[in-house]
Amino acid sequence: MGKKLVIDPVTRIEGHGRVTVHLDEDNRVIDAKLHVVEFRGFEKFIQGHPYWEAPVLLQRVCGICFVSHHLAGAKALDDIIGAGYSTGVQMLPTAEKVRRLGHYGQQLQSHVTAYFYLIVPEMLFGMDAPPEQRNVLGLVEANPDLIKRVVALRKWGQEVIKTVFGKRMHGISSIPGGVNKGISIAERNRLLNGEKGLLSIGQVIDYAQDGLRLFHEFHEKHRKQVDGFAEVPALNMSLVDDNGNVDYYHGRLRIVNKNRETVFELDYHDYLDYFAEATEKWSYMKFPYLKKLGREAGAVRVGPLARVNVTKSYGGSTPLAQAALERFQAYTNGKANDMTLHTNWARAIEILHSAELIKALLNDPDLQGEQLTLEPPESAWTGKGVGVVEAPRGTLLHHYQANEEGAITSANLVVATTQNNTVINRTVRAVAEEYLGGQAEITEGMMNAVEVGIRAYDPCLSCATHAMGQMPLVVSVHDAQGRVVDERVR
Amino acid sequence: MPVNISDKRETASHELPATPLDPSVRAARDEKIQIAMIALCGCWGCTLSFLDMDENLLRLLDKVNITRSSLTDIKRIPHRCAIGFVEGGVASEENIEILEHYRKNCDILISAGACAVWGGVPAMRNVVPLEACFREAYLDGPTAEPGVQPVIPYHPDIPRITTRVYPCHEVVKMDYFIPGCPPDGAAIFQVLDDLVNGREVALPGTINHYD
């Protein structure tokens, strides 16, 4: 007789998930899964709506990366009206740079929220600390100065978003062919210089470096645990520019192996030639894979760890992040890094990278340009579009088609957390085997290790269940006969 | 003492032995006003708007303790709470159970944001049969696997989806409503600060948005 352990719900993530772990009579792990327990159905109910509503409605997929959904949708709309990359048209510089500013602001804000509010408590208190302590309340009690800086840093990121989109969440900036407003000198100066209650860009970069230092200190103290925790092999995917450097807003999709050699590189408009999605009965989240390699070998990882594995460098405009990237890449002697908890290292580097990218962009006079929108003739209408951006959690794709009246006839979304589904489930299995397998007694802290593995991906189960539904997270353990041995539901 | 879980069919992590919180920390938290939070069918945006209180979040935390929430690892409401802060509408059997758990254990329940207040964007599926939504998502999408028998998720470990999306007050009694997609952090602070300080809740028009 085995056991079924459950975590229900998984906490300190966005959305609803459940973990089940099944153990046999000798307490060996037979099975361990992350179940996403929500479903919403955006692809269907968006049909029939005017095409220009898509980025406004579909950004409601996610409250933390709405900018990414808005921009992936906007790029698809550019294609639809004949002003997009699919037709070889180059976006106006002001429009592209305003979009980039919003995008980098969101990456900073989203990573700061995930890293400091959701992940750092483990780093400071330990995986088996009291569950009531491993959270923002524990941070307030233990280190009030740190939490004040975190609040100020996140606020600044939100104010970048508000400057571009008009409000902190679910605002509107992009319209088909461009943006609806530029950035004034006064708005720019406020973000650069700060004001009472708002950081300056210099302070933002300082605080971002503090965040990275926090990881290094933690890593120094717990090197064995951090490096040995769920080393999960997978291909890595990211958008890259012509130099092979990560570009969060636009580029070609590159997929690299353990030696960081390119195994596939594609124009994302051709994604259907490369990707399929499998479905399982036990989760509302689908399982994308590269068709040529099949489900096991063709699973890719996306997000911060994948991006630092793919990118050649950060180019010349972000020197502090460049130094941090070099240190990261040297740690595995130039090979791809598969250590799950190093995702948090990569996330901290990307906070700094975003801050430096924003600094460079704020000093660019193109933000004050007056030409905001391309308006191609009606004859340019293509009725179909694909948009891809690197969202904070990884590669995000929106694909729409619209008829000649402008009504949406189909929408397909492949979001970052869904791309990571197979890799996250491998991680759950690896952690379950390491921390739960063979244990005579299992504690809450051991179960939390499974959640630590999941949190490294900063999964957004709300995004991943845009299809329709609710994502609960359950970990179950089954025995050799497929009976449930142990399950943990959080 | 660790419990022996081997002869139970299913054991939840929060039922297992955990490291206890320092008694003095616990005592300090127990003196505060107890709040529980939950995100049902939504986008987590209203929870982030809660963080958008910025410095006021820290002021509020001087007076309140957060128990169960997606921001903490407390998986069930541990004791009676004064306030339940609910984001999202009701779209699955699990949402119904959780909302009833909150009603039972909280004195005041707040519907925060468009999804909790009236169903929000997810309720747009109410004009389409659920089956059509599932078909589009899992069977007929352009990335469906060629030559593979398609599957619509259905399993004991995932909840069934309700045929319609409901606002919270159609499932249990809700006491306060904060509109907006999402409500501004300032609006959330105003309501919570009024409640925590025993004032009548007054949401000025300047921070009360419906978009």
pLDDT value at A489 more than 50: no
B54/chain A closest Cα distance in angstroms: 6
Interhelix angle A185-193/A201-221, rounded to 10 degrees, is 40
A325/chain B closest Cα distance in angstroms: 29
The domain limits of chain A are: 3-39+441-489, 42-419
Residue of A nearest to B42 (CA): A462
Q: In what order do the strands lie in the sheet with A262-266?
A: A262-266, A252-256, A235-240, A300-301
A chain contacts of residue B95, beta-carbon cutoff 8 Å? 470
> Is A448's CB within 8 Å of B13's CB?
yes
Structure confidence at residue A466 as a pLDDT band (50, 70, 90): low
Q: How far apart are the two ends of chain B, measured CA to CA in Å?
A: 52
A79-123 pLDDT per residue, tens = 999 999 999 999 999 999 999 999 999 999 999 999 999 999 999
pLDDT value at A35 more than 80: yes
The total of other beta-carbon atoms located within 10 Å of residue A202's CB is 13
Residue of A nearest to B15 (CA): A444
Q: Per the structure, how many domains does chain B have?
A: 1
Indicate whether B155 belongs to any domain.
Answer: no
Indicate whether B105 belongs to any domain.
Answer: yes
The pLDDT value recorded for residue A471 is 32
Would you call B7 an interface residue with chain A, using a CB distance cutoff of 8 Å? yes
Would you call B27 an interface residue with chain A, using a CB distance cutoff of 8 Å? no
Would you call B171 an interface residue with chain A, using a CB distance cutoff of 8 Å? no
Indicate whether B204 belongs to any domain.
Answer: no
pLDDT value at A484 more than 60: no
CA B12 – CA A474 distance, rounded (Å): 9
B115/chain A closest Cα distance in angstroms: 10
Structure confidence at residue A469 as a pLDDT band (50, 70, 90): very low
Would you call B187 an interface residue with chain A, using a CB distance cutoff of 8 Å? no
The pLDDT value recorded for residue A40 is 86
B chain contacts of residue A33, beta-carbon cutoff 8 Å? 157
Structure token digits, residue B95: 């949402």
The total of other beta-carbon atoms located within 10 Å of residue A312's CB is 15
The pLDDT value recorded for residue A467 is 44
B chain contacts of residue A452, beta-carbon cutoff 8 Å? none
Q: What is the mean pLDDT of residues A380-398?
A: 97
A chain contacts of residue B39, beta-carbon cutoff 8 Å? 15-16
CA angle A272, A261, A72 (to 5 degrees): 35
Which of A1, A10, A16, A475 is best to mutate for the B interface (most B CBs within 10 A)? A16
State chain A's mean pLDDT as an integer.
Answer: 93
B chain contacts of residue A139, beta-carbon cutoff 8 Å? none
Residues forming beta bridges with residue A41, ordered by sequence position: A467
A315-336 pLDDT per residue, tens = 999 999 999 999 999 999 999 9
Would you call B113 an interface residue with chain A, using a CB distance cutoff of 8 Å? no
Would you call B22 an interface residue with chain A, using a CB distance cutoff of 8 Å? yes
Would you call B101 an interface residue with chain A, using a CB distance cutoff of 8 Å? no
Distance of CA A320 to the CA centre of its chain: 22
Indicate whether B85 belongs to any domain.
Answer: yes
Residue of B nearest to A22 (CA): B10
Question: Within chain B, where are the H helices?
Answer: 23-30, 45-51, 55-63, 93-105, 114-118, 130-134, 185-196
Of B13, B94, B146, the CB nearest to A444: B13
CATH of the domain at B119: 3.40.50.700
> Is A39's CB within 8 Å of B92's CB?
yes
Domain of residue B78, residue span: 24-146+161-196
A253-269 pLDDT per residue, tens = 999 999 999 999 999 99
> Is A41's CB within 8 Å of B61's CB?
no
The pLDDT value recorded for residue A475 is 42
> Is A280's CB within 8 Å of B16's CB?
no
B chain contacts of residue A286, beta-carbon cutoff 8 Å? 138, 143
Cβ neighbours for A141, distance < 8 A, ≥ 6 positions apart? A133, B25
> Is B125's CB within 8 Å of A468's CB?
yes
> Is B136's CB within 8 Å of A140's CB?
no
Residue holding tokens 């820290």? Answer: B58
CA B102 – CA A348 distance, rounded (Å): 36
Structure token digits, residue A78: 């550019």
B chain contacts of residue A442, beta-carbon cutoff 8 Å? 2, 5, 11, 16
A369/chain B closest Cα distance in angstroms: 29
Structure confidence at residue A224 as a pLDDT band (50, 70, 90): very high
> Is A41's CB within 8 Å of B48's CB?
no
pLDDT value at B62 more than 50: yes
Of B73, B142, B158, the CB nearest to A283: B158
Residue B178 backbone zone (phi > 0: left; psi -120 to 50: alpha; other: beta): beta
SS3 category, A249? coil
State chain B's mean pLDDT as an integer.
Answer: 93
Distances (CA, A) of A329 to A208, A239, A245: 19, 18, 14
A chain contacts of residue B133, beta-carbon cutoff 8 Å? 39, 41, 43-45, 467-468
Which of B32, B73, B188 is best to mutate for the A interface (most A CBs within 10 A)? B73
Of residues A190, A356, A41, the one with CA closest to residue B131: A41
Structure confidence at residue A465 as a pLDDT band (50, 70, 90): low
CB-neighbour burial class of residue B173 (10 A; exposed 0-12, middle 13-18, buried 19+): exposed
The pLDDT value recorded for residue B182 is 96
Indicate whether B69 belongs to any domain.
Answer: yes
Size of interface A-B (CB pairs under 8 A): 310
Lowest mean pLDDT among A162-166, B87-91, B152-156: B152-156
CB-neighbour burial class of residue A188 (10 A; exposed 0-12, middle 13-18, buried 19+): buried
ipTM: 0.94
> Is B121's CB within 8 Å of A60's CB?
yes
pLDDT value at A474 more than 80: no
B110/chain A closest Cα distance in angstroms: 19
* CATH 3.30.360.10 is the classification of domain A42-419: no
Q: What is the mean pLDDT of residues A224-233?
A: 96
Would you call B83 an interface residue with chain A, using a CB distance cutoff of 8 Å? no
Indicate whether B93 belongs to any domain.
Answer: yes
> Is B11's CB within 8 Å of A444's CB?
no
